[in-house]
Structure 1
Amino acid sequence: MDSKNTGQDSSKPIKGILISTISSEIRKSSTEEDLALVFFEAPTIMAACFTKNSFAAAPVIMSKENIKNFEIPFSGALVINSGCANAGTGVTGKLDCEKITKLLGKKLTIPNHMILPFSTGPIMERLPMKIIEKNINKLISNLGNSNLLNLAKTIMTTDTKPKIFKKKLILNNKLVTITGIAKGSGMISPNMATMLAFIFTDVKLNYKDLKQLVDEATRTFFNRISVDGDTSTNDSVIACANATSEVQVNSTDDCYKRDWKNFKDSFLKICFNLAKSIVLDGEGATKFITIKVMNVISEEEIQLVGGAIANSPLVKTAFYASDPNLGRILAAIGNAEIQNFKIDDLELKINDYCVFKHGEISVDYDESVAKKEMNNKEIVVEVNLKRGKITGNFYSCDFSHEYITINSDYRS
C-alpha cells in the first residue's frame, strides 16, 4: 500500500529510529518547529548524494565526510534545522557544525563523527548558536515523541505542505517498510534542488546496493526536476537502512532476484513521488509538466533538452497562461546544444496532440486545441528527436505571479 501526507500509520517511523522535533525559534518571526534530531538506535548503513554547487554549505561538507562511517552498520544521528542554511559562512560555519555534533555526541554517547548535520533556509547567515545550544537538552529529551510528519514539517521553508510517503510490501513472507520525506519548493534545478530528502527502510542491505539505489533515484528523478533553474547550496538525498525487519535482499544473489526487484521498484517509486511532490509544490506553481525526451542517443541529451525546456522562463510563463506560443519550446530545444541535431526529424506533442512535425507546424494544427491541452493541470510535452533509442523524463512546473511574491517576501 502507498500512504502519503496524511494518516497516523504513514507518520510512524520504522523500528529502531527515534525522532525529536522542537521549536527553537531559529526561524525568524515563527513559532513553528525548526530543529530536529533523528537517532538511529539500531545499527544503520547510509548512502547519499549531495549538491554539486561550488558553495556547498558547511553541513554538506561535514555530512559528506561523516557518512563514510556508515558504509557498515553503526548507531548514529541526523540533526536538521530550518530557518538558516549555514551556507556561505566559511570556517565559522564549519566550526558551528563541529560544536553542534560534539554537544550531541557527548549527550547521546556516540562519537561526534557519527552525526550528520543538515540545514535549510536563507544563505549567508550564521546559525544562531546560542539558541541551538540552549535547546540541545530539550531536543534530546523529546526523542521518541515526534513522528515523520513532524519531521517533514520541521524541514519546510517555503513549502506549502509536508512531503511524506510510505510503502509496505512483503519480502520473504515478511512485511517490510520504506518511508520517505522531503522538502523543496523553490531554488529547484539540477543537480537536485533546494531540497532535502530522507528515505528510511527496515530492510537489510549492503552499502553497495543502497548507494546504487540512491544514485539511480538521484539521476532519474531528483536531478531531473526544475522549478526555477537555480541550484541550491544544501541539496542532499540520504537513504538509511537498519535491518530491523530481519529481511535481507541484495542485487547479486539469484535467490533474492524477485525480492530485490520488488524492493528496488518500491524504493524508486517513493523517490519519484517525493520528486514529483516537490515540483507540484513549486513556489507559485499551478501546473505539473512532464517533459518526455524520446529517442535520443544518451542520458546527457535527456538532461540537455529537458533542462532547456524546463528552465526557460518564456516556456514556463506560456504554460501558466495556457498560451500556445509553442515557438518558445522550439527555441529552448534549439538552445540545448545537441550536436548534429536535425530539425526535420523533430516531432513535438502536447498531451499526444502533434503541433510540430517534419520541420514545420503540423498540417492539421489548431491553436484552440493546443490551448485546451495547455489548460490542463498536468501536461506531458513529448519531444521526439528520432536519433537514438534512449527515452527519459524531466519534470517541471509553470511560472506564476505568486513565484515573484513568495521570493520577494522570503526574508521579510
Structure 2
Amino acid sequence: MATGTNELPSLHPVPGIRLATVSAGIKKPGRKDVVLIEAAEGTTCAAVFTRNAFCAAPVTVAREHWQASGKKARYLLVNTGNANAGTGAQGLQSARTSCEQVAELAGVDPETVLPFSTGVIGEQLPVEKITAVIPEALAGLTDEGWADAASGIMTTDTRPKGCSVRFTADGREYTLTGISKGAGMIRPNMATMLGYVATDMAVEAEVLQQALADAVAISFNRVTVDGDTSTNDACVLLATGAAGNDPVSDLGSSEGIALRDALQEVCVTLAQALVRDGEGASKFVTVQVDGGRDEQECLDVAFTIAHSPLVKTALFASDPNWGRLLAAIGRAGLQDLDVDKVGVFLNDVLIAENGCRAASYTEEQGVAAMAPEDIVIRVELNRGNSGASVWTTDFSYDYVKINAEYRT
C-alpha cells in the first residue's frame, strides 16, 4: 500500500555526477542492490548522519572519511539488503574494505569514498559480494543513472523516489537532482533513511553544509512513519562546481538564495515521498499546529499526534475518534495549556473547541473528512504566533505484516 502517484519524475543529469547500479545478490539473487555514485574531482560534500547511538559501521566510516578528506567526496558506495549495523569491529573493517576496493580500482584516496548500507541489522556484511561487482559498477557509470539508482537503494519501499529541478541565478542555469529511500523505521531526526542530492553549482563547504542543515530541518526532520530512528540514516549533498560559477560563499547572496530555495523544494518533495510510501500506508496526513508560543512546542504537539498508535489506527479506519486527538495534545508537555482555547479541525471541519466537541460538529462531517487519502489535522493552540507542520501516515494491517515478516 502507498498513497499518491507511483510515477518517478524525470531526473535531470547533474554535470560532474555519474551513477551505476549493479547486482551483488546480497539478499536476493539478481536484485540490483549496489549503487556507485561518482563525483568529479573537487566536488564539495555536505552530510548529515543518524543520531542513533547504535549507528551502523558505514555511518562511522563515512563520518571519518568525510572529515579526513576535508569534506570532499569522489565516490559514494551504497548497498541494500544488509545494514552492517550491530556488527562490531568486523563490520567496520568490511566498510573500510569496500571503500579501499573502490579507491584502488578508481585511483583515488580511500578517504574520498563514503560507504552507506541499508537492510537487516545484526548480520555481517557479505563484503566479498560487494567488492566482486565494483569493477562492473565502475565500468557502468553514466550521467543518466539517477532513475536506476533510485530503484537500487530501495528496501521495503514500493516505489523509487526522486526529484529534480533546474534553477537560475545571476543569468546562469543550474541543476539539482536528488533521490531517497525509506518506508519504515522512519523518524529520521537528522535526515532520511538514505538520501543523495547533487548540484553542478560551486559552493563553499561550510555554506553547503548550512544549506543542507536548513533544508533537512524543514523536510526530512518533519516526517515520521513509526517514530523509530534508523541506525543507518544519512543524507549527502554534493556540489560539483561543473557549472563554472565562483563558489557561493554566502547563503544570503542571490546564488545562495536560489540554491536554498531549490534544495528545500527537492528535500520537501523527497521527504513527503517517504511518507506517501510508508510501510502499509493508506493515508498521507499533515499535522499542522498553529498559535503556539514557539515553534518547538508546536512541533511537540504535532509529533505527539503523529506518533500516537491510537490516532494512527483511527486514521486507518477512517474513524473520526477526536478524543484521541485531545488526549495526544494534552500529553504533549505544554506548560499552562488552556484547553478551553484549543481548536481541532479535520480538514476544514471544526470538531472540538472550548474543551469539548464543537457545537456545529456532526459525526457525518467527521466521517466525510476522514475518507480522503490526504488528510489535514489542524490544531489551533491560540496562545502565540508560531506554527509548525509534520507529515505522517496511518497504521494498517500491512504495517504489522511487513515488519513481522521482515526477516523471514
TM-score class, shorter-chain normalisation, is over 0.9
In structure 2, do the counterparts of structure 1 residues 75 and 118 end up closer, same or farther at CA, with 3 Å as the change threshold? closer
> Within 2, Cα distance between the matches of 1:295 and 1:64?
39
In structure 2, do the counterparts of structure 1 residues 75 and 133 end up closer, same or farther at CA, with 3 Å as the change threshold? closer
In structure 2, do the counterparts of structure 1 residues 145 and 209 end up closer, same or farther at CA, with 3 Å as the change threshold? closer
For 1:398, the equivalent position in structure 2 comes to 394
Q: Does 1:21 align with 2:21?
A: yes
Q: Does 1:52 align with 2:48?
A: no
For 1:314, the equivalent position in structure 2 comes to 310
In structure 2, do the counterparts of structure 1 residues 32 and 316 end up closer, same or farther at CA, with 3 Å as the change threshold? same
- 1:301-340 equivalent positions in 2, closer than 5 A: 301-340=297-336
Contact residue 69 and residue 111 of structure 2 kept, 8 A:
no
3-state SS, counterpart of residue 34 of structure 1: strand
In structure 2, do the counterparts of structure 1 residues 248 and 334 end up closer, same or farther at CA, with 3 Å as the change threshold? farther
**Cα drift, residue 300 of structure 1:** 2.2
Gaps in structure 2 of 5+ consecutive residues: 1-5
Q: Which amino acid aligns with 2:36?
A: L
> Within 2, Cα distance between the matches of 1:166 and 1:370?
37
Q: What RMSD over aligned residues (CA atoms) do the two structures have, in Å? A: 1.9
Corresponding pairs, count: 403
For 2:226, the equivalent position in structure 1 comes to 228
Aligned residues: percent identity?
Answer: 37
Q: What TM-score do the two structures reach when normalised by structure 2?
A: 0.94
> Within 1, Cα distance between the matches of 2:12 and 2:244?
19
> Within 2, Cα distance between the matches of 1:86 and 1:49?
18
Q: Which amino acid aligns with 1:16?
A: G
Contact residue 192 and residue 224 of structure 1 kept, 8 A:
no
> Within 1, Cα distance between the matches of 2:69 and 2:174?
21
For 2:3, the equivalent position in structure 1 comes to none
For 2:117, the equivalent position in structure 1 comes to 119
Q: Which amino acid aligns with 2:235?
A: V
For 1:140, the equivalent position in structure 2 comes to 138
In structure 2, do the counterparts of structure 1 residues 242 and 397 end up closer, same or farther at CA, with 3 Å as the change threshold? same
> Within 1, Cα distance between the matches of 2:7 and 2:199?
18
3-state SS, counterpart of residue 117 of structure 2: strand
> Within 1, Cα distance between the matches of 2:310 and 2:244?
52
For 1:38, the equivalent position in structure 2 comes to 37
Aligned match for 1:343, one of 333, 336, 339: 339
- 1:2-401 equivalent positions in 2, closer than 5 A: 5-6=7-8, 10-27=10-27, 29-69=28-68, 71=70, 74=72, 76-144=74-142, 147-192=145-190, 195-248=193-246, 250=248, 252=250, 256-257=253-254, 259-401=255-397
Contact residue 17 and residue 42 of structure 1 kept, 8 A:
no
Contact residue 193 and residue 225 of structure 1 kept, 8 A:
no
**Cα drift, residue 135 of structure 1:** 1.9
Q: Which amino acid aligns with 2:52?
A: N
Q: Which amino acid aligns with 1:349?
A: F
> Within 1, Cα distance between the matches of 2:200 and 2:356?
54
In structure 2, do the counterparts of structure 1 residues 190 and 138 end up closer, same or farther at CA, with 3 Å as the change threshold? closer
Q: Deviations over 1:174-220 (max 9, x none)?
A: 22101010000011114147610111001111122211121112221
In structure 2, do the counterparts of structure 1 residues 251 and 350 end up closer, same or farther at CA, with 3 Å as the change threshold? farther
> Within 1, Cα distance between the matches of 2:50 and 2:73?
25
3-state SS, counterpart of residue 74 of structure 2: strand
**Cα drift, residue 248 of structure 1:** 4.5
> Within 1, Cα distance between the matches of 2:341 and 2:47?
39
Contact residue 23 and residue 31 of structure 1 kept, 8 A:
yes
Q: Which amino acid aligns with 1:54?
A: A
> Within 2, Cα distance between the matches of 1:219 and 1:323?
31
In structure 2, do the counterparts of structure 1 residues 193 and 265 end up closer, same or farther at CA, with 3 Å as the change threshold? closer
In structure 2, do the counterparts of structure 1 residues 265 and 193 end up closer, same or farther at CA, with 3 Å as the change threshold? closer
In structure 2, do the counterparts of structure 1 residues 146 and 112 end up closer, same or farther at CA, with 3 Å as the change threshold? same
**Cα drift, residue 75 of structure 1:** 5.3
3-state SS, counterpart of residue 66 of structure 1: helix
> Within 2, Cα distance between the matches of 1:207 and 1:116?
16
Gaps in structure 1 of 5+ consecutive residues: none
Contact residue 188 and residue 229 of structure 2 kept, 8 A:
yes
> Within 2, Cα distance between the matches of 1:84 and 1:146?
26
**Cα drift, residue 388 of structure 1:** 2.1
Q: Deviations over 1:102-156 (max 9, x none)?
A: 1111111111111110000010011112212322222222222760011111110
Q: Which amino acid aligns with 2:245?
A: V
3-state SS, counterpart of residue 271 of structure 1: helix
Contact residue 17 and residue 143 of structure 2 kept, 8 A:
no
3-state SS, counterpart of residue 96 of structure 1: helix
Q: What TM-score do the two structures reach when normalised by structure 1?
A: 0.93
Contact residue 251 and residue 257 of structure 2 kept, 8 A:
no
> Within 2, Cα distance between the matches of 1:274 and 1:247?
27
Contact residue 50 and residue 235 of structure 1 kept, 8 A:
yes
**Cα drift, residue 251 of structure 1:** 6.5
In structure 2, do the counterparts of structure 1 residues 39 and 352 end up closer, same or farther at CA, with 3 Å as the change threshold? same
Contact residue 205 and residue 241 of structure 1 kept, 8 A:
yes
